[in-house]
């Protein structure tokens, strides 16, 4: 074999291609507004454009760049378009992309402190910063009994919280012997589907998940929660876990954490708080009411990858007492043993999550926070909320439209008075324009339009234009 032969990309070529890719992305940012927001392809269309077999010999880099334009872009739904008002945002930013690139370049797998001390320590430090930035409770600091870990998604955080809660209430017996089928969990009818998924995966069983009724604002009713707990206790069940939501996916409802937390304390239940999108609002002191009562929570998460300009994936998860989490998730085989772990002086984040391996996600969050500063992040969050609130006012003033739910932050749920079909048609027409992408929900069984403002590049003119398009599409 010819030992001098190599197929690798040399550092010199990497430098050249890297510049091309960054240029391509900068061009993308400049032109994304002109691309149809919602991909206009049929199922299978993108695959049909790809060669059937992988190449036997390597291809020139130019061919890959060309296919990005010709094959990939037509199949992209442009989450980074200023006309993206669907779901909740997954916004991105220059510093975040660059931080992620550095993480890829370093190629670190940070399962243990030893496998890259900086990967752990930057994460711990940044998560402590975020506690201060959002004014979260002191126990979430790594310097107290709790601490934070960056997960991939809010779904993973909910699962980790469920498993930690399960082990706390059964003193480790469930982890050893499996569930006895008596544990019951609670969340509202409006909670995200990830809670149900977590309940399934954690072996609690969906039959043991109670979906608690909500009030007229779609927020969990504490009296209904307590009644459900009492009913379960009376039939020999073991209530152990409540997930409350700050900013539900359908309508941005804020569950009353204080009342829910007091119930959890009274009955000894773990309280998890899912603030996936809306948690970012707490950057602004005037919006911290959304977290009133959070000091009663055992765990909390929000997604910087939704509204804090940090590329997917980046979920920030904290626990008030890390021992429950670590006890639930720690398995130490011989091949991972090392002196630092045994000294007890370090955090090994593999014990705080489901997978063993970890990407260096903290880099992108660190870059974002340092680039914008708290001031910059607050500025843009306030701006998004102001835009959504203008839209809310236009809806309220329009005789043929109505608000479908309170709009406390950056999501507006609204509908045309013409009924479900009229609203479905409006949605189809507006999305078919290619300039905007909105999605819907059902509230009290009625088809409801949602306008979610949070994309990095969205400005007043885009919100104006989407309202005009909606009015034009209305019967």
Kindly list the residues in this chain that would bind ligand PLP in the complex (CB under 6 A): 88, 153-155, 192, 194, 245, 248-249, 274, 276-277, 303, 315
| Separation between Cα atoms, residue 77 and residue 85, nearest integer Å | 12
For ligand PLP, the closer of residues 158 and 346 by Cβ is 158
Both tokens of 191, joined, read 């909670």
Min separation Cβ 56 and ligand PLP, Å: 38
Min separation Cβ 90 and ligand PLP, Å: 8
Hey, is 272 helix, strand or coil?
A: strand
Min separation Cβ 388 and ligand PLP, Å: 16
For ligand PLP, the closer of residues 119 and 276 by Cβ is 276
The dihedral formed by the CA atoms of 376, 274, 443 and 383, expressed in degrees to the nearest 10? 0
Q: Let me know: does 284 contact 134? Beta carbons within 8 Å.
A: no
For ligand PLP, the closer of residues 194 and 341 by Cβ is 194
Min separation Cβ 379 and ligand PLP, Å: 24
CA 137 to chain centre: 20
| Separation between Cα atoms, residue 155 and residue 151, nearest integer Å | 9
For ligand PLP, the closer of residues 194 and 280 by Cβ is 194
145-171: b or e for each residue (b if 16 or more CB lie within 10 Å)?
ebbbbbbbbbbbbbbbbbbbbbbbbbe
For ligand PLP, the closer of residues 274 and 351 by Cβ is 274
Mapping DSSP onto H, E and C, the string for 67-131 reads HHHHHHHHHCCCCCCCCECCCCCCCCCHHHHHHHHHHHHHCCCCCCCCCCHHHHHHHHHHHHHHH
Min separation Cβ 436 and ligand PLP, Å: 19
Q: Let me know: does 189 contact 213? Beta carbons within 8 Å.
A: yes
For ligand PLP, the closer of residues 244 and 264 by Cβ is 244
Single out the residue of 276, 267, 195, 204 nearest to residue 231, CA to CA: 267
Min separation Cβ 357 and ligand PLP, Å: 18
For ligand PLP, the closer of residues 112 and 413 by Cβ is 413
Min separation Cβ 62 and ligand PLP, Å: 35
Q: Which helix (H) or strand (E) holds 156?
A: helix 154-170
For ligand PLP, the closer of residues 35 and 149 by Cβ is 149
Min separation Cβ 381 and ligand PLP, Å: 17
Secondary structure of the chain: what % helix, strand, coil (to 5)? 50, 15, 35
| Separation between Cα atoms, residue 181 and residue 419, nearest integer Å | 44
């Amino acid at each position: 074999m010819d030992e001098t032969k190599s197929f690798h990309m040399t550092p010199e070529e990497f430098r050249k291609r890297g510049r091309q890719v960054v240029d391509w992305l900068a061009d993308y940012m400049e032109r994304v507004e002109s691309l149809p927001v919602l991909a206009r392809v049929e199922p299978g269309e993108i695959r049909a454009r790809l060669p059937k077999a992988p190449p036997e010999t390597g291809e020139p880099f130019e061919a890959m760049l060309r296919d990005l334009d010709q094959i990939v872009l037509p199949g992209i739904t442009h989450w980074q378009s200023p006309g993206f008002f669907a779901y909740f945002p997954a916004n991105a930013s220059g510093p975040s992309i660059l931080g992620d690139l550095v993480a890829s370049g370093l190629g670190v797998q940070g399962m243990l402190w030893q496998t890259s001390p900086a990967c752990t320590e930057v994460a711990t430090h940044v998560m402590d910063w975020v506690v201060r930035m959002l004014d979260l409770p002191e126990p979430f600091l790594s310097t107290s009994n709790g601490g934070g870990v960056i997960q991939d998604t809010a779904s993973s955080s909910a699962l980790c919280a469920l498993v930690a809660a399960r082990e706390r209430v059964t003193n480790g017996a469930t982890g050893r012997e499996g569930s006895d089928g008596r544990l019951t969990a609670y969340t509202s009818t409006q909670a995200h589907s990830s809670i149900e998924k977590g309940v399934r995966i954690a072996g609690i069983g969906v039959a043991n998940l109670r979906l608690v009724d909500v009030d007229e604002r779609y927020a969990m009713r504490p009296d209904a929660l307590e009644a459900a707990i009492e009913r379960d206790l009376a039939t020999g069940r073991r209530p152990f876990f409540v997930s409350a939501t700050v900013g539900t996916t359908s309508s941005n409802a804020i569950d009353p954490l204080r009342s829910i937390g007091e119930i959890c304390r009274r009955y000894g239940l773990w309280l998890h708080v899912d603030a996936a999108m809306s948690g970012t609002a707490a950057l602004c002191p005037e919006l911290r009411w959304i977290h009133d009562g959070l000091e009663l929570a055992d765990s909390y998460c929000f997604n910087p990858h939704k509204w804090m300009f940090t590329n997917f994936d980046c979920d920030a998860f904290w626990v008030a007492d890390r021992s429950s989490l670590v006890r639930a998730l720690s398995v130490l085989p011989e091949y991972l043993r090392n002196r630092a772990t045994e000294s007890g002086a370090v955090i090994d984040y593999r014990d705080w999550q489901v997978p063993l391996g970890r990407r260096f996600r903290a880099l992108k969050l660190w870059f974002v926070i340092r680039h914008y500063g708290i001031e910059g992040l607050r500025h843009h969050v306030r701006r998004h909320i102001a835009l959504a609130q203008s839209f809310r006012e236009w809806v309220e003033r329009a005789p043929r439209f109505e608000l479908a739910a309170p709009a406390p932050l950056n999501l507006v749920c609204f509908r045309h008075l013409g009924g479900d079909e009229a609203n479905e048609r409006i949605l189809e027409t507006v999305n078919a324009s290619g300039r905007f992408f909105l999605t819907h929900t059902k509230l009290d069984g009625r088809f409801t339009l949602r306008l979610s403002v949070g994309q990095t590049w969205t400005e007043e003119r885009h919100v104006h234009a989407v309202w005009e398009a909606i009015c034009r599409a209305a019967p």
